[in-house]
Structure 1
Amino acid sequence: MAQAIAGPEIERLIQLLARLPGLGPRSARRAALHLINRREQLLSPLADAMRVAAERIVVCESCGNIDTSDPCTICRDMGRDRSILVVVEGVSDLWALERAGAVRAGYHVLGGVLSPLDGVRPEHLALDGLVARAALPETRELILALNATVDGQTTAHYVTDLVAHLPVRVTKLAHGVPVGGELDYLDEGTLTAAMRQRTAV
């Protein structure tokens, strides 16, 4: 077992940073040292921002996005095309599409994808809310913007079957999204092209 190199407070900071995506123990130590060396400019403001975020962040009951208000900023935006609903796996995918500016529509976050191996079943996803929103008279199209993985495509087929009885057009992302690719890692140009070239399911 590695010997502690600092007090328990600093070790805890390093351990928590190491849990973040893309940060291993070595990167976490560097990040912690950087924060500590810049306490006034970084560490204190970051601690305050994280405290406020922990207190105020909520999940939008309509779409599943995270924000500091419910309904979220996107759901309150009256300039969006309410006839289109973009279905995504997670909030990171929603944010990726928003960064790309590929579409100004509504969203629905499923909270995952069907995965028998991981024990993720239909009841674990926000499918009831999706069907209810797809059944609204204003909804004309569902864009299935799910990752091009086996689980993502399985979920897309399941959603298509769920809404087959509704008068809603179902499309999916087209060229530009590689098989096995995840939306959050794609560049804005690729996402925009995929959104524009969506195809019927």
Structure 2
Amino acid sequence: MEAELDELVQALRCLPGVGAKSARRMALHLLERDREGARRLSRAVDEAVARIGHCSVCRTLTSAETCSRCADPERDSRVVCVVESPGDVLAIESATDFGGRFHVLLGRLSPLDGIGPEELGLDRLEARLQAEGVEELILATNTSVEGEVTAHYLAEMAARHGIRTTRIAQGIPSGGELEYIDAGTLAHALSGRREY
């Protein structure tokens, strides 16, 4: 394989879920069938890398110093939803009418991987809890072991400041059939049941 083609294939492999065959197929498609698309992709990646950084308040991705959510005076600053990634912000925004603020951890606690409170910038979250009049902290971390440990740590932090802590509901997806749900999800849903 030509060195330039090999370099393009290796570059495409940095994307999540893209293995060697998929990367090769993408590279060949761009070179054989869509060279203008390849140029557009190249320009878009260059622009995004050069201009997009993290919001100085919530740490989501933005091209401004402060993202549009944090700059919006209509959003309720008394309610902060903590998520693991900017993708989680987009998922919540597209699926709900949540009108509060966000705080993006950019990961989750994982002592085995060397990720502690410092690496997640939890001092910044604690400063927000002290300074912004937060009344409710919504924990929207993933349900992995690390996500649950992170949620527990954050709940303890909020409790020290007398802030109400809630956890997003988890369990059976809408339209899901019980016989096809994994045991962990089913057990979690049953133990987290609420009044009907």
TM range (shorter): 0.7 to 0.9
Alignment match, 2:128: 133
Alignment match, 1:38: 34
> Residue 14 in 1 paired to residue 39 in 2?
no
Distance in 2, matches of 1:155 and 1:82, equals: 22
Alignment match, 1:51: 46
Amino acid corresponding to residue 62 of structure 2 in structure 1? D
- Alignment counterpart, residue 117 of structure 1, candidates 97, 109, 112: 112
Alignment match, 1:82: 77
Distance in 1, matches of 2:172 and 2:85, equals: 16
Q: Secondary structure at the match of 2:101?
A: strand
Does structure 2 retain, via aligned residues, the 8 Å contact 1:144–1:173? yes
Distance in 1, matches of 2:47 and 2:22, equals: 26
Amino acid corresponding to residue 24 of structure 1 in structure 2? G
Does structure 2 retain, via aligned residues, the 8 Å contact 1:109–1:126? no
Does structure 2 retain, via aligned residues, the 8 Å contact 1:85–1:139? yes
> Residue 167 in 1 paired to residue 162 in 2?
yes
Q: Secondary structure at the match of 2:152?
A: helix
Pairwise CA RMSD of aligned residues?
2.2
Runs of at least 5 residues in structure 1 that lack an aligned partner in the other structure: 179-196
Distance in 2, matches of 1:108 and 1:45, equals: 32
Q: Secondary structure at the match of 2:131?
A: coil
CA gap of 1:177–1:70, structure 2 versus 1, over 3 A, is: farther
> Residue 68 in 1 paired to residue 63 in 2?
yes
Amino acid corresponding to residue 67 of structure 2 in structure 1? C
What's the CA shift for 1:62? Answer: 0.6
What's the CA shift for 1:101? Answer: 2.6
Q: Secondary structure at the match of 1:30?
A: helix
Count of matched residue pairs: 176
What's the CA shift for 1:71? Answer: 0.2
Give percent identity, aligned residues only: 42
Runs of at least 5 residues in structure 2 that lack an aligned partner in the other structure: 174-191
TM-score normalized by structure 1?
A: 0.80
Distance in 1, matches of 2:87 and 2:140, equals: 12
Does structure 1 retain, via aligned residues, the 8 Å contact 2:137–2:158? no
Distance in 2, matches of 1:75 and 1:97, equals: 15
Q: Where has structure 1 moved over 3 Å in runs of 4 or more?
A: 175-178
Distance in 2, matches of 1:23 and 1:48, equals: 21
